[in-house]
Chains A and B, each alone.
Chain A
Amino acid sequence: MDAPVKIRIRNLYKIFGSRPAAVLPQVLEGLSKPDLLARHNHVLGLRDINVDIREGQITVIMGLSGSGKSTLIRHLNRLIEPTAGEVLVDGDNILTWNDRRLRDLRRKTMSMVFQKFALLPHRTVLDNAGMALFTQGVPRKGYEADARKWLDRVGLGGYGAHFPHQLSGGMQQRVGIARALTSNAGIMLMDEAFSALDPLIRTDMQNLLLELQAELHKTIVFITHDLDEALKLADHLVILKDGQVIQQGEPQHILLNPADPYIEAFIADINRARVLRVRSIMRQPIGDGAVDGEIEADATLEQVIAASQGDLSRHYRVIEDGRPVGMLDMPSLVRALVPR
């Protein structure tokens, strides 16, 4: 069930300031972020981050602004250098790599999508999509077919000759995604990729991403401050606060077992019926008794409520791939809708 680990982050620390190495020992001994700022005028960006990012999954790193999430994602391709710790890609510590190897990593192994799109304003959409290959020295003839293919795939066929400023925000971000896909890298880093878009377009883009992911199985690291977005996309959810991981795991599990009052407050506003799935609250063992029907393990509670027509006395058998995997009764479903 568990996919192999693609990127492993080990004991990562980042301290911003004039002499980070000098204050590191005190941080390791547990000096708090406010004290560090008051006494040494250094800012603690990240403290002791340990995350395993699995191949073919979407790992969402969520936190409010200032929680260090954008700092963290920039450590994965070393746009920011850590103060201490390790980042292992396929088991190899990239912090020991020289510039040439690092460039190769950025060109071939990891691509990135940015919040503000960051397209080259003076190049056409087609050239932007082919930027990764162009950077590797491939002439336009060489990348044109690939770039066109991915532009078509994200719904921008026929826009190749336009300039970025002629497109709307949503379309520009599609170019951003096509650019990341054209590089053919196995890992995609997405830094608040949809945060700058309006809600409807954001939903479109989330669906596009899930669609692409079902087909391509990339290793995606997605940064967001929006819990709904995080729950929709995440296979693995990491919640950051003040530069520390306060809980990580399967999103449904976090929703049902928040580890911290901070997370409880966070998830209080969520529409649980739409987010929670039958699988997370079903009961075992599988009974043989009479049931009112069968439901899919992946159905949301909202769908079950609709199917039951609000009748709280119903029992269901939960099936997955045609085999029964558990039982669900409506009272326990209703209980799950209320946060602890």
Chain B
Amino acid sequence: MATYDGLFNALGLRDWCDAGGGGGGPMSMADLMARASGNTAAQEVSWWDLPLPSLNNLHAACGAIWQTRDLTLGLERAFLSARDALRIVLDPATQPLSWMLRQMIWLMVATPWFIMLPVLLAVTWAVARSWRVVGLVAVSLGFLAFVDHYTEAMQTLAIIFVCAFICVLIGVPVGIAMSRSNTLRRIGTPVLDMLQTLPAFVYLIPLIFLFSVTEPKLYGIAIILYAIVPVIRLTDLGIRLVDPDVIEAADAFGMTRGQKLWRVQIPLALPNIMAGVNQTIMMSLAMVVIASLVSAPGLGVLVLRGIRNLELGVGLVAGFGIVLLAIILDRVTKASLARIDVSRDGR
């Protein structure tokens, strides 16, 4: 029959294999083809064609062994059976996110443009203290408004503001905790690596099962999971990079742990933390387009329309709009970073 029959016979597992009831699952296309061509009988296989000892090939020899599709099916079933329990916990816990996203989008879109734009410019000035940056923001937003992408741009900005805010709110304390405990860091680092390398679409799959597609938190969580990594990493790094001599001096003058954290470590790590915030904002912007697949409003929707309907111009203009937003967000955060660096360190 199959190549690996001999192996199971030699191991004395034949009874166990047959008891497993081979071919319990639905028949695969390949099986059907083989049956149709009448080639079910064993063929002499040369050593050159030795099949990989994979689940499917082993299953052919021993019915008790799972096929790969049983594995994926099992995963799916396990997830679905855990879904209700997860929902009970996660749904209320993440409800504020839905609420915040909805309110923020409503606020930024419903506020008339002649109020909203000056407010944004004032915020830019407050953060960056540079007329050049304010000018850049004014020109960019003016252009987007002029080509009638104002509403979409505001929606995208609203999503990014909320998600970046939550990333900082969660990420900075997690980063601080990781900087204080090597154990936590050993556990956290592979998780962060995974979050960063997992293809962005993969986040969406389990989230779609967990939450209703109409809920803003669906894309909110996806964006946060993807974008939170740099702020955690750089907070951790920033605090670990604080000069150990300065920490020793703080100890020698009798500072408590809290005083050390708030008066020494966080202020000295602030440039690194701000660099993390900048990266987090950039990554949430990157995720916004993908999030449009699950109903996130904004410029991403137009990009998707461009892809789906092959409307080249629509896609390109919306894409350019995202680039513009990325540039102004980057310049504003970089300018504020430079401001912190100059007033505190001078390096």
Bound CA–CA A179/B249 (angstroms): 11
On whether the beta carbons of A131 and B253 are closer than 8 Å, the reply is yes
Name the segment of A1-9, A108-116, A251-259 touching the other chain: A108-116
**Does A173 touch B at the CB level, under 8 Å?**
no
Chain A residues positioned under 8 Å from B252 (CB to CB): 77, 79, 106, 110-112, 114, 189
On whether the beta carbons of A103 and B254 are closer than 8 Å, the reply is yes
Bound CA–CA A141/B338 (angstroms): 31
Q: A135-B259, A165-B345, A165-B347 are in contact. Are A106 and B254 (CB under 8 A)?
A: yes
Q: Which range holds the interface residue count of chain A?
A: 20 to 34
Chain A residues positioned under 8 Å from B243 (CB to CB): 118, 121
Chain A residues positioned under 8 Å from B264 (CB to CB): 120
Bound CA–CA A77/B344 (angstroms): 30
- Of A106, A116, A163, the residue contacting B245 (CB under 8 A) is A116
Query: Which residues in window 245-271 of B have CB below 8 A to A?
Result: 245-246, 248-256, 259, 263-264, 267-268
Closest A-chain residue to B245, C-beta based? A118
Task: Name which of B245, B253, B264, B267 has the most chain A CB atoms within 10 A of its CB.
Answer: B253
On whether the beta carbons of A120 and B246 are closer than 8 Å, the reply is yes
**Does B346 touch A at the CB level, under 8 Å?**
yes
**Does A340 touch B at the CB level, under 8 Å?**
no
- Of A118, A131, A135, A183, the residue contacting B248 (CB under 8 A) is A118
Give the Cβ gap from B345 to chain A, nearest Cβ, in Å: 6
Q: A106-B254, A122-B344, A135-B259 are in contact. Are A112 and B268 (CB under 8 A)?
A: no
Interface of chain B: mostly helix, strand, loop or mixed: helix
Give the Cβ gap from A229 to chain B, nearest Cβ, in Å: 21
Give the Cβ gap from A179 to chain B, nearest Cβ, in Å: 8
Count how many chain B residues have C-beta atoms less than 8 Å from C-beta atoms of the other chain. Answer: 21
Chain A residues positioned under 8 Å from B253 (CB to CB): 106-107, 111-112, 131-132, 135, 179, 183
Bound CA–CA A166/B248 (angstroms): 22
**Does A104 touch B at the CB level, under 8 Å?**
yes
Q: A103-B256, A116-B245, A135-B259 are in contact. Are A121 and B251 (CB under 8 A)?
A: no
Bound CA–CA A79/B253 (angstroms): 11
Q: A118-B243, A121-B268, A163-B346 are in contact. Are A135 and B255 (CB under 8 A)?
A: yes
Chain A residues positioned under 8 Å from B251 (CB to CB): 79, 106
Chain A residues positioned under 8 Å from B250 (CB to CB): 120
Give the Cβ gap from B270 to chain A, nearest Cβ, in Å: 8
Bound CA–CA A166/B345 (angstroms): 10
Contacts A102-B254, A183-B253 supplied; 15 other A-B pairs, CB < 8 Å: A77-B252, A79-B248, A79-B251, A106-B252, A114-B248, A114-B252, A118-B246, A118-B249, A120-B249, A122-B268, A132-B254, A135-B254, A135-B259, A165-B345, A189-B252
The 3 closest A-B pairs by CB, nearest first: A106-B254, A107-B254, A118-B249
Query: Chain B residues in contact with chain A, CB under 8 A?
Result: 243, 245-246, 248-256, 259, 263-264, 267-268, 344-347
What are 24 A-B contacts defined by CB distance under 8 Å?
A: A102-B254, A103-B254, A104-B254, A105-B254, A106-B252, A106-B253, A107-B254, A110-B252, A112-B252, A114-B245, A114-B252, A118-B248, A120-B249, A120-B263, A121-B246, A121-B268, A121-B345, A122-B267, A122-B268, A135-B253, A135-B254, A136-B254, A165-B347, A183-B253
